[in-house]
Amino acid sequence: MSVLDSIIEGVREDLAMRRLPLAQIREELESAPPVRNVERAFSNPEISIIAEVKRSSPSKGSLAPITDPAALACQYEEAGATAISVLTERRRFGGSLSDLDAVRARVDIPILRKDFMVDDYQFLEARAHGADLVLLIVAALSQNQLDDYFQLSRELGMSALVEVHTNDELERALEISPQFIGINSRNLKTLEVDPAAFAELLPRIPESMVRVAESGISQRSDVEYAQEYGANAILVGEALVRSADPILAMRELRGTR
């Protein structure tokens, strides 16, 4: 079993324990906060940063305790983040939907629910808790699931960041014409990071789409490398949560220190 398979197995087990009756989750949807305009947020010509609230990871273990995720998110927003990514997977990343609720209540920029989305219910749940953007990992989904979940996200008013690792996955992603495509330089099946994925895959994404570079970005030179190949957004977690000064770390990544 690959790391990705193991994570998904845990996600399904946890979901089975917290799943609400369909009528109840639909009732919660009725009182969900309005969706924020994600496309407009990413229309800035400067590099966009999706700053992540992330306590741990399968590859690095514990990263930071983050006792107040909302306060961290506020620092990101102050430093110019375009959106906040909130990990809600519990077993490997130490996240929760409570983190999502707390962050949503304190910042005014779009929120990405960062999780392994493998069930229709999770999309209803994401929107009920205020997510504006969800993650679709191509490696974890069949083509039918990818298309269905993309359409479901749109029906609920949310945008989708479609994440790929290989040429084949990028071809599958382009078939559904998403607005956001993320190139993850970390292979979720092996956890190895190879920045060459940016050079190989980013130039193949149409310029009309938001091209997000993910993983392995910790300093300004990494940002410039990704930009060289076409990235107009980056997603950063570890470098920010491990920094003693997240605001300064954000400004260094943006080149505005």
pLDDT tens readout for residues 207-254: 999 999 999 999 999 999 999 999 999 999 999 999 999 999 999 999
Active site residue 153: no
Active site residue 125: no
**Predicted pLDDT at 256:** 82
Among residues 57, 185, 215, 232, the one annotated as catalytic is 215
Among residues 48, 52, 85, 89, the one annotated as catalytic is 52
Active site residue 189: no
pLDDT tens readout for residues 11-46: 999 999 999 999 999 999 999 999 999 999 999 889
CA distances from 76 to 32, 93, 97, 144, 211 (A): 24, 19, 19, 36, 20
Active site residue 175: no
Among residues 56, 159, 184, 185, the one annotated as catalytic is 184
Instruction: Give the predicted TM-score (pTM) of the model.
Output: 0.96
Q: Which domains occur in the chain, in start order?
A: 3-32+41-254 (3.20.20.70)
**Predicted pLDDT at 2:** 87
Confidence band of 191 (pLDDT split at 50, 70, 90): confident
Among residues 77, 125, 163, 169, the one annotated as catalytic is 163
Active site residue 85: no
Among residues 114, 125, 159, 185, the one annotated as catalytic is 114
Among residues 169, 214, 238, 252, the one annotated as catalytic is 214
**Predicted pLDDT at 257:** 66
> Distance (Å, rounded) from C-alpha 41 to C-alpha 78?
15
